[in-house]
Amino acid sequence: MGLFDTIHFPKPIPCPECGEEISSVQTKDFDCLMGNYYVGSVLRGGSILKGIVTEEIWCEKCFEAKRESRHPIYLVVWNSILAGIETTEGAAEQRLSAVDRLDLVGWLDEAQRSAADWRGRFFQLLGDIEKWHMHLAHQTNPEEGEGGKRMAAIFKLSDEILQAQDPLGALIAQHRENAKRDGKPRGWW
């Protein structure tokens, strides 16, 4: 099967040939279920508990220019957690020996922040869908009582959405943008 996982770098790694910034690598070393891994992620399905996994970054620019387009990188794995991504074996070994409890606390903090962030985005989306539902119900029942009108006024989508040519499309676009607002590729797009 042609499936793979994507490992996202904490900061882009420049291509050693041309300097092009490379922000991720695709790997078949782990689950191969289109997963997204970051430093601090538990690597599922990998056979390595602790050690260094070699991978290759791929530079599209160098590939197109028919230069050497593959360069080694080193994934540092500590108790099945992706603990670092280094460009030299020496740096990877150093990173592996330096992992400590403070790293764990940092990863836990990041994971909890991320979970809270996604929870917030989910409820924002749910709220907007409920508002859209209410908007449609209100449209088909203009004779509803004062209470209904008041509720519709309180739980109203923004004018920007309601006045768009395709309000539902605008709502989807807004949430799609919201899903990548931190600049990192997340999920499926």
CA 65 to chain centre: 30
Query: Residue 184: what are its φ and ψ, rounded to 5°?
Result: -95, 140
Closest CA to 167 of 141, 128, 137: 128
CB nearer Zn ion, residue 33 or residue 65: 65
CB nearer Zn ion, residue 59 or residue 161: 59
Residues in binding contact with Zn ion, number by CB under 5 A: 7
87 binds Zn ion (CB under 5 A): no
12-51: which residues touch Zn ion (CB under 5 A)? 15, 17-18, 20
Query: DSSP 3-state assignment of 7?
Result: strand
Q: Which positions ≥6 away from 17 have C-beta within 8 Å?
A: 59, 62, 67, 68, 69, 71
Stretch of 49-57, 58-66, 78-86, 122-130 contacting Zn ion, by CB under 5 A: 58-66
Closest CA to 73 of 16, 120, 121: 16
Stretch of 33-41, 62-70, 117-125, 147-155 contacting Zn ion, by CB under 5 A: 62-70
CB nearer Zn ion, residue 17 or residue 31: 17
Burial class (CB in 10 A: 0-12, 13-18, 19+), 37: buried
Stretch of 53-61, 84-92, 97-105, 147-155 contacting Zn ion, by CB under 5 A: 53-61
Report the nearest approach of Zn ion to the CB of residue 57 (Å): 9
CB nearer Zn ion, residue 15 or residue 25: 15
Q: Which of 7, 53, 57, 59 binds Zn ion (CB under 5 A)?
A: 59
Closest CA to 5 of 29, 42, 34: 34
CB nearer Zn ion, residue 68 or residue 117: 68
Q: Give me the residues that bind Zn ion (CB under 5 A), please.
A: 15, 17-18, 20, 59, 61-62
